[in-house]
Structure 1
Amino acid sequence: MGLFPFTLIPLVLYTFAAVFLYDHSNYVVEPGQVALHPFWSKAVISFTLVSGQSWSLSYGDLLVTVAIVLLLLGMLRSASTNRGTVLGNIVMVLVLCVYIILFLTVPFAGTSVFFLLTIVALVDTLSTVSISMVASHSTMDAVPD
């Protein structure tokens, strides 16, 4: 489980939705419009708050929320120092590279939802590498000469 980057889960979910749930023939973004596929703006749940304000959670909001929760789990896991830490960090950087390449080159990934997922993957990669470096350094300090 140490080599598995949690940020891969939102990437797979987003790609699955893009390939199998999008109606690509009707999706055209005019110049100056925000590139957000209608699927990601559909409401999963909607209700009225006590204040009287209507609130809804879209599929895009839900996916970003899941990514943030997975980011927390990845940060909690990153404090361990085992043999797979370096390889796990390499896999995490590769997942980040896939996010960036897809965002820049694939039309269905050019949305604000995917951009936020890319930022979550970036924060996950940077924090995990930083935390594992500090954890390994403190482990080395604990070893007597």
Structure 2
Amino acid sequence: MGFFPFTIIPLILYVLAALFLYDHANYVVEPGQVALHPFWSEAVLSFTLVSGQNWALSYGDLLITIAIVFVLFSLLKTASTSKTTILGNMIMVLVLCVYIILFLTVDFAGTSTFFILTVIALVDTLATVSISMVASHSTMDAVPDD
């Protein structure tokens, strides 16, 4: 589990939702219009707060929240100095590349929800690589034992 990139889960969920849950034929973005498919702005749950404000959680918000929780799990496993951590870091960079390529080239990934997921993957990758580098240096002895 040390090499599994948790940021791939929101990527898979997004792509599956984009491929199977919404109708691409009805999705046309006019020039100057925000590229957010109506599916991502649909409310998953909605209720009235004590203040009287109506609060709704959309599918896009839920997916971003899930991605942030997975970043926490990713950072918790990063302190390990095992050899699988290096493999995990390499896979995380590949997942980040997939996010960037999809965002730039695929129409259903050109949304603000996917952009935020890409930024989360970037931050997760940079933080994980940084933390694992610090952790690997802290386990080295300044003077080797003979």
Name the residue aligned to 1:42: 42
Name the residue aligned to 1:6: 6
Matches within 5 A, 1:19-98: 19-98=19-98
Matches within 5 A, 1:121-140: 121-140=121-140
Secondary structure at the counterpart of residue 129 of structure 1: helix
Give the whole-Å Cα distance in 2 for the aligned partners of 1:91 and 1:30.
36
Amino acid at match of 2:138: S
1:144 Cα deviation from its structure 2 partner: 3.3
1:143 Cα deviation from its structure 2 partner: 6.9
Query: With structure 2 as the length reference, what TM-score do the two structures score?
Result: 0.97
Give the whole-Å Cα distance in 1 for the aligned partners of 2:85 and 2:117.
23
Secondary structure at the counterpart of residue 46 of structure 1: strand
1:22 Cα deviation from its structure 2 partner: 1.7
- What RMSD in Å do the two structures reach over aligned CA positions? 1.0
Give the whole-Å Cα distance in 1 for the aligned partners of 2:134 and 2:83.
15
Change (3 A) 1:143 1:15: farther
Secondary structure at the counterpart of residue 140 of structure 1: coil
- Listed one character per residue, the Cα deviations across residues 41-89 of structure 1 (whole Å, up to 9, x for unaligned) are 0000001100011100000000000000000110111000101111110
Identity of aligned residues (%): 78
Give the whole-Å Cα distance in 2 for the aligned partners of 1:73 and 1:99.
19
- Listed one character per residue, the Cα deviations across residues 7-27 of structure 1 (whole Å, up to 9, x for unaligned) are 000000000000011201000
Secondary structure at the counterpart of residue 40 of structure 2: helix
1:105 Cα deviation from its structure 2 partner: 0.2
1:3 Cα deviation from its structure 2 partner: 1.1
Give the whole-Å Cα distance in 2 for the aligned partners of 1:141 and 1:122.
31
Give the whole-Å Cα distance in 1 for the aligned partners of 2:141 and 2:37.
51
Query: With structure 1 as the length reference, what TM-score do the two structures score?
Result: 0.97
Give the whole-Å Cα distance in 2 for the aligned partners of 1:64 and 1:4.
19
- How many residue pairs get matched? 145
Secondary structure at the counterpart of residue 30 of structure 2: coil
- Give the gaps of 5 or more residues in structure 1: none
Give the whole-Å Cα distance in 2 for the aligned partners of 1:141 and 1:59.
49
Name the residue aligned to 2:119: 119
